[in-house]
Structure 1
Amino acid sequence: MKIFGDTNSGNCLKVKWVCDRLALPYRWIDIDTIKGETRTPEFLKLNGAGQVPTVEFDDGRTLAQSNAIIRYLARGSALIPSDAYAAAKMDEWMFWEQYSHEPYIAVCRFQMVYLKKPASELDPEKVKRGYAALARMEQHLSASRCLAGEAFSLADVSLLAYTRVAHEGGFDLTGYPSARRWIGESERALGLPAAK
């Protein structure tokens, strides 16, 4: 299996983390999105949307969208709850991540880290919605060890990707002790060093 990804992307790292956690063999192929490497004719043959991550399986089939990829790779593993309702709650968090978390936390991070914008130039609405996402996570995690119950799942992998580096997008996590606890536990569950 080949993973076409950018190591600066939390969405790409999700795929790497799941493969590493499940000891799935893969070859990582670095794609620099800033240099437009997702727009080459060769890459567009793999993924017509021109996005990473993209996985190419040994039989030539491809799959895109980080949460779809990790959902496929983790089938039959402990990362997906065996209880149907718990699995649906996991999916609920994963869909929420792409719609109500990533567009704000990750976009602010991208603008500050890669476009070198100061925090004062970020879109106030994106910042507001990013904090709303963090507040929702904090409320939930104050009563639950993990996002989809007490067991670590793909929901935690999915939300960890950009929450652990939210500070790089100007978000102050000081007032989110449950989220900070969860970040540390999730990083340890994946064997990751603590985010700087």
Structure 2
Amino acid sequence: MYKVYGDVISGNCYKVKLALHLLGKPYEWEAVDILKGETQSEAFLAKNPNGKIPVLELDDGSTLWESNAILNFLADGSELLPTEPRLRTQVLQWQFFEQYSHEPYVAVARFIKHYQDMPAERQEEFERCQVRGYKAFKVMEQQLKRTPYLVGDQYSIADIALYAYTHVADEGGFDLSNFPAIGEWLVRVASHPRHVGMRD
């Protein structure tokens, strides 16, 4: 059985949780409080020297970290990861997009607004996140106007990667009402029979 070290309100940790549910894989959840510095303990750093969650621990005690890398490991050989090289590369394309053009702005805006209650010293940073976050949503909207999922007709880990923070974008002050294709996609993803919510 897998063991996941994570925080239930973290979008990066939610990616792993959602994938495990979709794949029907049993796991144990070990709560880690980053605000209390638990990711910097000696015991945790032995699992991930980078001191971040999520971490996936395998049966043999070895660990994997970085949420999108974990998604690729879990989904290998399943319907969530295409085998055709072009499609598989497009999955990676969207995962790289998520980590470099989406998460740094959508997730950070959420943290500043929802968890830090908008401190004055981060107002300018929050506004920059809004601009760049909306730019990322425009890219997603263009694709989702053409295809039901980010990589064609098939739900994949590309969708998991971007659903995680997009579905709580309102907590970061984002209004997605002008992105109807994203709205329909959010409903489509959540309608999967094995879907699990972030806080479930």
Q: Report the TM-score when normalising by structure 2.
A: 0.93
Give 1:10's aligned residue: 11
The Cα shift of 1:122 comes to 5.0
* Unmatched runs of 5 consecutive residues or more in structure 2: none
Give 1:147's aligned residue: 150
| 3-state SS of 2:152 partner | coil
Aligned mates of 1:88, 1:194 — CA distance in 2:
27
Give 1:58's aligned residue: 59
The Cα shift of 1:111 comes to 0.8
Give 1:42's aligned residue: 43
Say yes or no: does 1:112 pair with 2:113: yes
Give 2:69's aligned residue: 68
Give 1:159's aligned residue: 162
Aligned mates of 1:153, 1:87 — CA distance in 2:
10
Are the equivalent residues in 1 in contact too, given 2:3–2:27 (CA < 8 A)?
yes
Are the equivalent residues in 1 in contact too, given 2:14–2:198 (CA < 8 A)?
no
Aligned AA for 2:133?
A: G
Say yes or no: does 1:98 pair with 2:102: no
Aligned mates of 1:192, 1:185 — CA distance in 2:
13
* Unmatched runs of 5 consecutive residues or more in structure 1: none
Change (3 A) 1:114 1:76: same
Give 1:174's aligned residue: 177
Say yes or no: does 1:121 pair with 2:123: yes
The Cα shift of 1:36 comes to 1.1
Aligned AA for 1:131?
A: Y
Structure 1 or 2: larger helix share? 2
Structure 1 segments of 4+ aligned residues over 3 angstroms from their partners: 192-195
RMSD: 1.7
Aligned AA for 1:191?
A: H
Give 2:195's aligned residue: 191
Say yes or no: does 1:77 pair with 2:78: yes
| 3-state SS of 1:117 partner | coil
How many correspondences in the alignment? Answer: 195
Give 1:33's aligned residue: 34
The Cα shift of 1:188 comes to 1.5
Q: Report the TM-score when normalising by structure 1.
A: 0.95
The Cα shift of 1:116 comes to 1.0
Are the equivalent residues in 2 in contact too, given 1:19–1:26 (CA < 8 A)?
yes
Identity %: 43
Identify which range, 96-105 or 114-123, moves more after superposition: 114-123
The Cα shift of 1:33 comes to 1.0
Change (3 A) 1:36 1:69: same
Aligned mates of 2:180, 2:43 — CA distance in 1:
45
Aligned mates of 2:158, 2:124 — CA distance in 1:
27
Aligned mates of 2:151, 2:59 — CA distance in 1:
32
| 3-state SS of 1:15 partner | helix
Aligned AA for 1:175?
A: N
Are the equivalent residues in 2 in contact too, given 1:111–1:122 (CA < 8 A)?
no
Aligned AA for 2:147?
A: S
Aligned mates of 2:18, 2:154 — CA distance in 1:
17
Aligned AA for 1:147?
A: L
The Cα shift of 1:192 comes to 3.5
